[in-house]
Amino acid sequence: QVKAQFESRENRTCDLFRAIIYRTQVVAGINYFIKVQVSDSEYVHLRVFQSLPAMNEGPSLVSFQTGKTRDDPLTYF
């Protein structure tokens, strides 16, 4: 659901956009930290915020890190 947000902010198009692993953090909603494969050997880490259901808002891309590998640990950023 945040692929278009990532592509717009990174000014690129990703043919591959597959979530590999994720972690969550409960705040006033949920932060999702997601490792996403964007090419055969390139990965990005996304931080996505999902507000509480009462807010009726979709997920929002908060920040991201590029240049990651499959073996890089998924940590808070």
Give me the average pLDDT of each 10-residue run along the chain (77 residues).
Answer: 94 94 93 96 96 85 95 92
- The domain ranges of the chain are 1-68
The whole model's pTM is what?
Answer: 0.88
Q: In what order do the strands lie in the sheet with 60-68?
A: 18-27, 29-37, 43-51, 60-68
The pLDDT of residue 1 is 87
d(CA 10, CA 57) in angstroms, rounded, equals 23
